[in-house]
Amino acid sequence: MDAYNITVVGGSGLVGQEFLKLLDERNIPVGRLRLLATARSAGRTVEFRGQTITIEETTPESFGPDDHIVFLSASGSASKQYAPIAASRGSFVIDDSSAYRMDPNVPLVIPEINADDLAWHRGIVSQPNCTTTPMLLALAPIHRVNPLRRVIVSTYQAVAGAGAAAVEGLRRETEAALAGRHEPSGTQKREIAFNAVPQIDVFAEDGYTKEEIKMANETRKILHAPEVAVSATCVRIPTFFGHAMSVWAEFERPIDAAEARRLMEGAPGLTLMDDPAREQYPTPMDAAGTDAVLVGRLRNDTSKPGGITFWTVTDSIRKGAATNVVQIIEEAARRGLIRPAGS
């Protein structure tokens, strides 16, 4: 793989910092690395492969023809502002926000599932919500042979999914609560310590939140299955890292848990951790810091024969975000979709 010049917008954030770790872990050759953020973090330094990199403030002038890859991991508004600029200067842009996910001109990619969609990128590639990716990695091996028809999902999402301030917010709220005080940090819609909050993002008119709507729309786009029905309930819980969810799924033809297990076993990116006899199943702590999508509690849906239900857990800032981005880079480089380094 060529040594590309990489610029990260959001380089001081949770995902941006995890991305740097992953470049190292996966031995990605890097030419010149630049880290951008807001004026708040400008001037801070970060060590990367023996170099001290100073974080700079992002401006429209930050992007030039020598950036081979620009990773935007800041906010939807920053992505809307900067992605077109970076793409117009010839960079391969990967966007981690929801700004372009449903844009018909932008591929939305989980490399293990729809890497071929990278071929039609026009400068920007989008990456799915951190709940969509694990759910689809678990469902895709079945969908390939027996098309998905309907999903009902309830999530149990860690505060890391809302960024560094939310992690700090839970820590502060927990300390206060243990000292007998209620001090909401304002990082979630309600006090989150020792609580569960069934609202992530804002409500739409139909009573679903935008997070829930994202899971439905992104599922249909990634699986190329516009008719799949999805109903999601997304809940924030007071864990730091690792998003969990329980999933009920129906397919075109009836399936049972034994067949689902055979299809999931060995599927890329998926690890079964499922042995009720030994009380074995994944928890957020098992997933934190790993790239695995862990699946357990796989069983028949007794409410409606022919369907299955299972539990899955993933680290939202790893496979839910940074790992998927590094895999997109690896796959795009392998397919010659990134401008050659040096050009």
Ligand X SMILES: NC(=O)c1ccc[n+]([C@@H]2O[C@H](COP(=O)([O-])OP(=O)(O)OC[C@H]3O[C@@H](n4cnc5c(N)ncnc54)[C@H](OP(=O)(O)O)[C@@H]3O)[C@@H](O)[C@H]2O)c1
Binding stretches for ligand X (CB under 6 A): 9-16, 37-38, 40-41, 58, 73-75, 78, 96-97, 130, 160-161, 163-165, 316-317, 320-321
Nearer to ligand X, 160 or 234 (CB): 160
Residue whose Cβ sits closest to ligand X = 13
- In SS3 terms, the chain reads as CCCEEEEEECCCCHHHHHHHHHHHHCCCCEEEEEEEECCCCCCCEEEECCEEEECEECCHHHCCCCCCEEEECCCHHHHHHHHHHHHHCCCEEEECCCCCCCCCCCCECCHHHHHHHHHHCCCEEECCCCCHHHHHHHHHHHHCCCCEEEEEEEEEECHHHHCHHHHHHHHHHHHHHHCCCCCCCCCCCCCCCCCCECCCCCECCCCCEHHHHHHHHHHHHHCCCCCCEEEEEEEECCCCCCEEEEEEEEECCCCCHHHHHHHHCCCCCEEECCEHHHCECCCHHHHCCCCCEEEEEEEECCCCCCCEEEEEEECCCHHHHHHHHHHHHHHHHHCCCCCCCCC
Q: How far is the CB of 75 from ligand X (least distance, A)?
A: 4
Nearer to ligand X, 16 or 296 (CB): 16
Q: How far is the CB of 246 from ligand X (least distance, A)?
A: 19
Tokens of 261: 């297990």
Residues acting as catalytic residues? 130, 243
Nearer to ligand X, 63 or 251 (CB): 63
Q: How far is the CB of 16 from ligand X (least distance, A)?
A: 5
Nearer to ligand X, 14 or 135 (CB): 14
Distance CA 272, CA 274 (A): 6
Q: How far is the CB of 189 from ligand X (least distance, A)?
A: 16
Tokens of 75: 């906010």
Nearer to ligand X, 5 or 75 (CB): 75
Q: How far is the CB of 194 from ligand X (least distance, A)?
A: 22
Nearer to ligand X, 38 or 231 (CB): 38
Q: How far is the CB of 320 from ligand X (least distance, A)?
A: 5
